A and B are shown apart, each in its own frame.
Chain A
Amino acid sequence: MRLLLDRFPEIVSDLWTDEDTVEVQVPRDRVVDTLRTLRDDGDFGFFLLADAAAVDYGPRNWFEVVYHLYSDRHPGWLRIRVRVDRQDPRTPTVTDLWEGAMFHEREMYDMMGIVFEGNRDLRRIYMSPDYKSFPQRKDFLLPDDAADSAAAGVNPLERPETWQLDRFQQSAAPAVAIPAAESQSVEAGKTMASETRPR
Chain B
Amino acid sequence: MTAVDPEVRIPDPLDTERDDEARLRAAAGLDLPRAAGRAEYAGFETVGLPDRPPQTERERQLFTLDEGEMLVNMGPQHPSTHGVMRLLVKVRGEVITDIDPVLGYLHRGIEKLCENATYTTVLTYVDPMDYLSAMHNEHAPAIAFEKLYGIEVPRRAEYIRALVVELNRVFSHGLMMGFLALDMGGLTPILYGFINRDEVVDLLSAISGQRMLFNFFRVGGVNWDVNDEFLSRLGKWRSHVLDNIAMNERLLTENEIFRARTRGMGILDGRRAVQLGVTGPNLRASGVPFDVRRAHPYSIYPELEFEVITQQTGDVYARYLQRIAEIKQSIRLIDQIVDRMPHGPVQAQVPGIIRPRPGRAYAAIESPRGLYSVYAISDGSATPYRFRMRDPSFISLQALPTLMPGHLIADTMAIMASFDPVMGGVDK
Sampled A-B contacts (11; CB under 8 Å): A20-B296, A21-B362, A51-B388, A72-B295, A103-B395, A104-B395, A121-B59, A126-B103, A126-B428, A136-B115, A198-B353
Across the interface, A120 reaches (CB within 8 A) one of B56, B121, B296, B394, namely B56
Asked if A50 is at the interface of the complex by the 8 Å CB criterion, the answer is yes
A120 touches B58 (CB 8 A): yes
Bound state CA distance, A70 and B395, in angstroms? 16
Q: A142-B112, A198-B118 are in contact. Are A133 and B382 (CB under 8 A)?
A: no
Interface segment, one of A3-11, A25-33, A166-174, A183-191: A183-191
The interface residues of chain A lying within 8 Å CB-to-CB of B83 are none
Q: How far is the CB of A74 from chain B (nearest CB, A)?
A: 10
B386 touches A55 (CB 8 A): yes
Interface segment, one of B243-251, B341-349, B370-378, B414-422: B370-378
B107 touches A127 (CB 8 A): yes
The interface residues of chain A lying within 8 Å CB-to-CB of B57 are 120-121
**Interfacial residues of chain A within 153-199, with CB under 8 A of chain B in the complex:** 181, 184-185, 188-189, 192, 195-196, 198-199
For the complex of A and B, the 8 pairs showing the least CB-CB separation, nearest first, are: A100-B277, A121-B58, A126-B104, A185-B379, A53-B388, A126-B107, A132-B16, A188-B381
| A contact residues, total (Cβ < 8 Å) | 60
**Interfacial residues of chain A within 112-133, with CB under 8 A of chain B in the complex:** 113, 115, 119-130, 132-133
A125 touches B104 (CB 8 A): yes
A188 touches B380 (CB 8 A): yes
Across the interface, A192 reaches (CB within 8 A) one of B56, B104, B147, B381, namely B381
The interface residues of chain B lying within 8 Å CB-to-CB of A189 are 380
Q: How far is the CB of A41 from chain B (nearest CB, A)?
A: 16
A198 touches B382 (CB 8 A): yes
Across the interface, A103 reaches (CB within 8 A) one of B116, B386, B397, namely B397
Give the secondary structure class of A's interface: loop
Bound state CA distance, A51 and B375, in angstroms? 9
**B contact residues vs A (CB 8 Å cutoff):** 12-14, 16-17, 20, 50, 52, 55-59, 103-104, 107, 109, 111-113, 115-118, 120-121, 147, 274-279, 290, 295-296, 353, 355, 358-362, 364, 371, 373, 375, 377, 379-383, 385-386, 388, 390, 394-395, 397-398, 427-428
Q: A99-B398, A135-B112, A181-B385 are in contact. Are A70 and B295 (CB under 8 A)?
A: yes
Asked if A36 is at the interface of the complex by the 8 Å CB criterion, the answer is no
A123 touches B56 (CB 8 A): yes
Asked if A151 is at the interface of the complex by the 8 Å CB criterion, the answer is no
Asked if A139 is at the interface of the complex by the 8 Å CB criterion, the answer is no
Bound state CA distance, A189 and B380, in angstroms? 7
Asked if A145 is at the interface of the complex by the 8 Å CB criterion, the answer is yes
